[in-house]
Amino acid sequence: MQSSHYERLGGAQGTRRLVDRFYDLMDALPAAAGIRQLHPANLDGSREKLYLFLSGWLGGPALYVEKHGHPRLRARHLSFAIGEAERDAWMLCMSQALDEMELDTMLCEHLKQSLWNTADHMRNTQP
């Protein structure tokens, strides 16, 4: 029986670790300053929502849906100007966070591509 990406990432603990590192990088990397400004000063709520979302997205418990309903990702992000720079900054943080998880190479690359596709779908401004 094949395990889910959620399980391969380390379940709840691994997902939380990924989310925390992602937001730590967003706070620290100068290249992420633009996307950081789109977030509230206190990232606790953002961390929790991404954790809930990724849990289900990775094949674990559908925590986000249970608490907030359907994610409607694009609709929930329409109030923010998201272009290529914002997508790329988001992916810079997520890619580095994934790399630091020391995952199986194929899993890491698959997750990066899937998340890039999702991040690209969030774009709502033209260059």
The pLDDT value given to residue 75: 86
Q: What is the mean pLDDT of residues 43-54?
A: 97
Contact 125, 83 (CB under 8 A): yes
Query: What is the per-residue pLDDT across 20-46, written as a single tens digit (0 to 9) for each?
Result: 999 999 999 999 999 999 999 999 999
Report residue 51: phi and psi, to 5°: -60, -50
| Model confidence pTM above 0.85 | yes
Q: How far apart are CA 11 and CA 8, in angstroms?
A: 7
Specify the pLDDT at position 1: 60
The pLDDT value given to residue 45: 96
**Per-residue pLDDT, 17:** 98
- Left if phi > 0, otherwise alpha if psi is -120 to 50, otherwise beta: which for 29? beta
Q: Which fold has domain 5-121?
A: Globin-like (1.10.490)
DSSP one-letter code for 29: -
